[in-house]
Amino acid sequence: MEEEHAQDQGYYLNADLLETWREQGADPALIELLAKAMGDGEELSIRWSR
């Protein structure tokens, strides 16, 4: 995941990235949440905000 500029808050995830994170020891609950949100789709777009 990368930010294109300082105000960039949109991120795209796909199943391969989630699997990489899982293999690297990412929080299982987070991976499960993101996978569930992705559903049968091939990618997921999320936005970070504070």
Residue pair 5/41 in contact (Cβ under 8 Å)? The answer is: no
- Give the confidence band of 46 by pLDDT, cuts at 50, 70, 90: confident
Q: Look at residue 1 in the predicted model and tell me its pLDDT.
A: 56
Please write the tens of the pLDDT for every residue from 17-44. Answer: 999 999 999 999 999 999 999 999 888 8
- Whether the per-residue pLDDT at 8 is higher than 70: the answer is no
The two three-digit tokens of residue 23, written as one number: 């293999």
> DSSP readout, the chain?
---SSTT--EEEEEHHHHHHHHHTT--HHHHHHHHHHHTTSSEEEEE---
Residues 6+ apart with CB under 8 A from 1: 11, 12, 13, 17
State residue 41 phi and psi, 5-degree precision.
-70, 170
Q: Look at residue 36 in the predicted model and tell me its pLDDT.
A: 95
